[in-house]
Amino acid sequence: MVKKRSTTQKKAQARKKVPIKKKIVKKKQTKKRVEVKFIGQVTRIRQTEPATVVEWPRAITHVHTYGMLSPFFEGLKKGELRATQCSNPKCAEKRLWIPPRAHCPDCHTQTVWKALPNPVIGKIYTFTRVVYAGTGIELSTPYWQVDVEIPGLATIPKSYLLYGEPRIGMKVKAEFRKKKPTNTILDYYWVPYEANA
Positions touching Zn ion (CB under 5 A) are 86, 88, 91, 104, 106-107
b/e per residue 150-174 (b: at least 16 CB within 10 A): beebbbbbebbbeeeebeeebbbbb
Q: At 129, is the secondary structure helix, strand, or coil?
A: strand
Cβ closer to Zn ion: 88 or 184? 88
Question: Least distance in Å: CB of 132 to Zn ion?
Answer: 38
For residue 34, give the amino acid letter.
V
Question: Least distance in Å: CB of 187 to Zn ion?
Answer: 28
Question: Least distance in Å: CB of 110 to Zn ion?
Answer: 10
Nearest to 82 by CA among 164, 163, 187, 165: 187
How distant, in Å, are the alpha carbons of 38, 102, 105, 127, 142 from that of 187? 37, 20, 25, 19, 18
Cβ closer to Zn ion: 88 or 155? 88
Cβ closer to Zn ion: 81 or 86? 86
Cβ closer to Zn ion: 110 or 126? 110
User: 174 forms bridges with which residues in the sheet?
Assistant: 190
Cβ closer to Zn ion: 98 or 161? 98
Instruction: Give me the half-sphere count of Cα atoms (radius 13 Å) on the Cβ side of residue 69.
Output: 16
Q: Dihedrals φ, ψ of 10, to 5°?
A: -60, -45
Question: Least distance in Å: CB of 82 to Zn ion?
Answer: 18
